[in-house]
Amino acid sequence: MTDPNVERKLVEIMRIIGEGDKPLGARLIADELHNRGYAIGERAVRYHLRILDERGFTEKHGYVGRTITERGKKELSDALISDRFGFVITKIEELIYRANYDLDTGKGNVIVNITNIDKDDFEDATNIIRHAMDYGAAISSRVGIIEENTDHEIYVPEGKVSVATVCSITFDGLLLNNGIPVVPIYGGLMQMENHKPDGFLDLISYSGTSIDPIKIFLRRKATSILDTIETGNGKMLANVRQIPASAAVLAADVFERAKKVDISGQLCIGDPGEEVLYAPIEMGKIGIPVMVGINAVAAVEEAGINVETHPVSAVLEYSKMKPL
């Protein structure tokens, strides 16, 4: 059986080809995938196109590109019915499964957000990211710097440099890898008072939207990260996951071990069945809010530098990520 993550990309590629009025080549498809939040390059697109050709869903027209076949149109129609709801949480669950970082060996993948920055703005942007990370706005000071045409899995647009920041959903991977069932439930906007979390002002359920909640808040320009750093008061982004109440002690141990390898940002561990920072939690569960890694790049946008950010975008070997 094909990896569900591959299947999702195949559906999106068919959707892009089906929307076109002429054959599309791998480069154009890669550009549009990037616009839709899929950070994969032209080489990876060609691999997926070969699968679609073999299944009879697309037809190759020499070097001009591909069109979708009648069989492909039917497959696409069937796929989109089930794909319409739960897209975000399904993608997150797939990445949690792929996040295999081992706190004991220091090896494995973490989940990352990908932010594309114009080369001309790169120095100023990374200075702001570093400033925000020094404050503790992100969950790790480590980043991955990806240049054009250097990683066939992560697509970097022409004239850009991609910065990979550790995503807070990495915590869910760490909990799962240590035997703790975990479900991400909310992305939200957190009010900060005197440099401490005062409570969520707004929450969006991961299971109830087709757009990542954190991306929604970014589009609203709802944060005030730089004000928070300067005055202690402002709005930052955080998310919440819930775990069985019986796993609280083990979870606390995982978080302490994670701090030793520069993965932190967990705000507290709630009480069983009780709200945590105004976020509702199910009976028999405890809520765990965590600051998100995207806070650091939200600060860049607040400073007037245009960037393009894709939350919960890919996995990356943590040992290859270094402090700015």
* Section 28-45 average pLDDT: 82
- The pair of structure tokens assigned to 110 is 């973490």
Other residues' Cβ atoms within 10 Å of the Cβ of residue 83: 17
The string of pLDDT tens digits covering residues 104-115 is 999 999 999 999
Other residues' Cβ atoms within 10 Å of the Cβ of residue 298: 28
Helix (H) or strand (E) holding 189: strand 183-193
- Residue 283's pLDDT band (cuts 50, 70, 90): very high
CB 16 within 8 A of CB 24: yes
Name the residue among 180, 282, 198, 209 with its Cα closest to residue 238.
198
**What pLDDT is recorded for position 152?**
62
Q: What is the mean pLDDT of the chain?
A: 90
Name residue, tokens 């970097």. Answer: 156
CB 299 within 8 A of CB 132: yes
**What pLDDT is recorded for position 94?**
86
What distances in angstroms separate CA 274 from CA 29, 106, 169, 265, 290, one per listed residue?
A: 46, 34, 22, 21, 17
> Which residues does residue 146 pair with via DSSP β-bridges, in sequence order?
162
The CATH code for residues 4-84 is 1.10.10.10
Q: What is the reported pTM? A: 0.75
pLDDT score of 2 more than 50: no
* Section 131-159 average pLDDT: 88
Q: Tell me, what DSSP letter sits at residue 3?
A: -
Measured distance CA(243)–CA(96) in Å, rounded: 14
**What are the residue boundaries of the structural domains of the chain, listed by start?**
4-84, 109-323
Measured distance CA(89)–CA(185) in Å, rounded: 9
What distances in angstroms separate CA 198 from CA 22, 51, 149, 287, one per listed residue?
A: 53, 50, 43, 16
DSSP 232-295: S-EEEEEEEEEEEGGGHHHHHHHHHHHHTTT---B-----TTS-BTTB---TTEEEEEEE-TTH
- The answer to whether the Cα torsion of 143, 149, 155, 156 is positive or negative is positive
What is the amino acid identity at position 8? Answer: R
CB 154 within 8 A of CB 314: yes
Name residue, tokens 């090896």. Answer: 107
Q: Indicate the angle between helix axes 4-19 and 87-98, nearest 10 degrees.
A: 140
pLDDT score of 4 more than 90: no
Least confident of 27-36, 229-238, 266-275: 27-36
**What pLDDT is recorded for position 239?**
96
What distances in angstroms separate CA 303 from CA 109, 187, 224, 246, one per listed residue?
A: 31, 23, 10, 43
Residues 109-323: name the CATH superfamily.
Answer: mj0159-like (3.30.70.1360)
* Section 175-196 average pLDDT: 95
Q: Tell me, what DSSP letter sits at residue 61?
A: E
What is the amino acid identity at position 234? Answer: G
